[in-house]
Amino acid sequence: MRLLIQRVTEASVTIDKQIKSSISKGLLLLVGIEETDTQEDIDFLCKKTVNLRIFDDENGVMNRSVLETGGEILVVSQFTLHASTKKGNRPSYIKAAKPEVSIPLYEQFCQALSEMLGKPIQTGEFGADMQVELINDGPVTIWIDSKNRD
């Protein structure tokens, strides 16, 4: 499972010209799921996300988590995070999980993240054509792959 985490001052997801979800200060998570992902990957990434110290403290040092700052989280599924560009110019998505695997894992991830954050999170719509808008704060963008924990 891969996450692209962006610290934002605001973010939203629009589907068919209608805003589905929006947040103010917090995190936008783009989530890619592969066939081999399990509950262990979900638990690792949820814990890492809510405790990641990327928000400024009173001294302007990134020393606070989204949990500590009361920030919000917007989660958007994005199978293209598993693109392979090793061969040719057309990316291959062979490692991205099929919907029958990825939808339940995505839903489990969102539920576990909401529980760890202690409040509801916002989401996109799995498989929809979405327009994602954000103002990246910093900019701060972090890539985490649950298969590379060492």
The boundaries of the domain holding residue 108 are 2-145
CB 27 within 8 A of CB 139: no
Q: Return the pLDDT at 127.
A: 87
Supply the pTM of this predicted model: 0.94
Shortest CA distance to 71 belongs to which of 30, 115, 10, 1?
Answer: 10
pLDDT at res. 95: 86
Residues in the chain: 150
Query: Total structural domains in the chain?
Result: 1
- Whether 150 is covered by a domain: the verdict is no
- Other Cβ atoms within 10 Å of 112 Cβ, number: 18
Which residues in the chain show pLDDT less than 50? Answer: none
pLDDT at residue number 34:
94
Q: Out of 9, 36, 80, 141, pick the active-site residue.
A: 80
Concerning whether 9 is annotated as a catalytic residue, the answer is no
- Tell me how far CA of residue 47 lies from CA of 25, 29, 85, 91, 131, in angstroms: 19, 14, 30, 31, 27
Residue 83: per-residue pLDDT: 86
What's the CATH code of the domain at 104? 3.50.80.10
* Average pLDDT value for the chain: 95
Helices 39-51 and 99-117, packing angle to 10 deg: 40
